Amino acid sequence: MGGNRSLWRALGLTLGSAVLWGIAHLWVGRTRTGLALAAIYTLLLATGIAVATSFRSTVLALLVRPGWLTATVVATLVTALVWALVIVSSYRLVRPQPLHGTRRLFAGGLVGGLCLVVAAPLAYASRVAYVSHDLMTTVFPDQSAFPPDRGDHVDYLGSKQRINLLLVGVDAAKNRPGARTDSMTIASVNTKTGQTVLFSLPRNLQRVPMPAGPARTAFPDGFTGGGASPGLLNEVYQWAEDNPSLVPGVPDRQRGITLLKATVGGILGLPIDYYAMVDMKGFAQIIDAMGGVTVTVKQDIVFGAYREGLVKAGTRRLTGDEALWFGRSRTDSDDYVRMGRQKCLLHAVAKQADPLTVLRGFERIATVTKRYVSTDIPQSLLPSLVTLSAKLKLTEIRSLQFVPPLISTGNPDWTFIRQKVNDTVNAPAHPEMPSKRTLTLAPPADTVSLDATCG
């Protein structure tokens, strides 16, 4: 009986040492070692609490730096190993002697299980950091990939009042040659307040003005395509890829987005700083990796060549395929209704992609992102963007769509579009701000606030 009491006491002290390092060492009189272990553990615990509370935004900014991610991989693995060694050494100090047969196996199994309990979360954190490092270095280009005239990206946001990001959805369908940029949204973000406006351009804008240089020389009166091509905005990307002379000196697979950025920037009168492009198939897989996205659909949406698909009206959690068709379908509607649904869907995804949701499907999301997403946002800018994203959560995202009757897609008034953009981004702050944590801008009459209610 006394042996059993000694075993349970040893296991209790081992458990206590797993919760607070050094308890077993203090019990057997190894005071100096026990106090040292307790001090190290207290320091690690205090650091973890500070990271999770006071310095959370700073740590998040650091964790999009490949170097810090590598350090995190090493640190978490070392911590897991040390913790397991503390547990094992604590048990070896207090275990009863002799210990044989079933009792020895039972105790060894419990101690091994305890090691797994404390090491598994740290090993998983290390895995997430490793996958994040792979994602950062695969999707986001290194600073050295840019010419010197792009400047120091670390301080880039600090020198700009606004940053303009071109968000592109590419549809490379099997039944058509090349890729069409059927979704083009420009997110214009105030770097001081986080105030954001989404400008949407329809894919069927005609005779869009080309930027100065070979492209304008080829199309002095606006882009018209060639042959059977109707010459729409969504063809500019593939046209540049197929005609290297329009964007001289730019490598393959970069010509299209280079010309599209310059073209869209000219239309809106905004310099396009960076782009992010996603293949629509990849978008569906990202939604599935998140576990779906919830939107309130105002009316039934039919899709498919033979009207075989249906997204029913109501508040629904859509799968990736349903979300894809929700944003693509023009059956019983048109391009402009579809554009509105796309903006609503992007907003719903952004709001629902909370850390826990992303973490649950992180490896799948990372795999899909590496395959279907491309961008020229440099790694060195990511910490500043993470900090800026915290401001976005305190503001209202507004949207302005350049669709009929605001404009004519066949004969657009380019001066009007640029003036409308200028008025919108320079809209004054609302005079009656509800609180210091809520920033609402007084929008021009044509802008609308986004929510998750979609037509």
* pLDDT for res 2: 47
* pLDDT for res 1: 43
* pLDDT for res 306: 58
How far apart are the C-alpha atoms of 38 and 193, rounded to whole Å? 44
Whether 234 and 180 have beta carbons less than 8 Å apart is answered as yes
Mean pLDDT, all residues of the chain: 83
Summarize pLDDT for 94-152 with one digit per residue, the tens.
998 877 888 889 999 999 999 999 999 999 999 999 999 999 999 999 865 444 444 44
Residue 323 has pLDDT above 70, yes or no: yes
Residue 22 has pLDDT above 90, yes or no: yes
Confidence of residue 449 (pLDDT cuts 50, 70, 90): low
* pLDDT for res 27: 94
* Domains of the chain and any CATH numbers: 2-139 (no CATH), 153-454 (3.40.630.190)
Q: What are phi and psi of 432, to 5 degrees?
A: -115, 80
Q: Report the percent of the chain where pLDDT is more than 70.
A: 85
Whether 87 and 114 have beta carbons less than 8 Å apart is answered as yes
How far apart are the C-alpha atoms of 267 and 374, rounded to whole Å? 23
Terminal Cα distance for the chain, rounded:
73
Q: Report the percent of the chain where pLDDT is more than 90.
A: 46
Summarize pLDDT for 392-409 with one digit per residue, the tens.
777 778 889 898 889 999
How far apart are the C-alpha atoms of 100 and 130, rounded to whole Å? 42
The candidate with the shortest Cα–Cα distance to 448, out of 349, 351, 347, is 347
Residues 6+ apart with CB under 8 A from 146: 153, 378
Compute the average pLDDT of residues 309-322.
84
Q: For residue 345, how many other CB atoms are within 10 A of its CB?
A: 22
Residue 69 has pLDDT above 80, yes or no: yes
Ramachandran assignment for 178, one of left (phi > 0), alpha (psi -120 to 50 degrees), beta (any other) = left
* pLDDT for res 422: 94
Whether 302 and 293 have beta carbons less than 8 Å apart is answered as no
Burial label, 423 (beta-carbon count in 10 A; 0-12, 13-18, 19+)? middle
* pLDDT for res 101: 84
The candidate with the shortest Cα–Cα distance to 420, out of 246, 217, 270, 228, is 270
Positions of E strands within 75-123: none
Q: Which of 18-32, 216-230, 402-416, 437-451 has the lowest average pLDDT?
A: 437-451
* pLDDT for res 188: 95
Compute the average pLDDT of residues 321-339.
78
When mean pLDDT is compared over 93-97, 101-105, 210-214, 425-429, the highest value belongs to 210-214
Task: Give the HSE-up count for residue 130: Cα atoms under 13 Å, Cβ half-sphere.
Answer: 11
Residue 414 has pLDDT above 50, yes or no: yes
What is the β-pairing status of strands 180-190 and 196-201?
antiparallel
* pLDDT for res 454: 54
DSSP state of 438: B
Whether 61 and 118 have beta carbons less than 8 Å apart is answered as no
Give me the amino acid identity at 116.
L
Query: SS3 of 180, please?
Result: strand
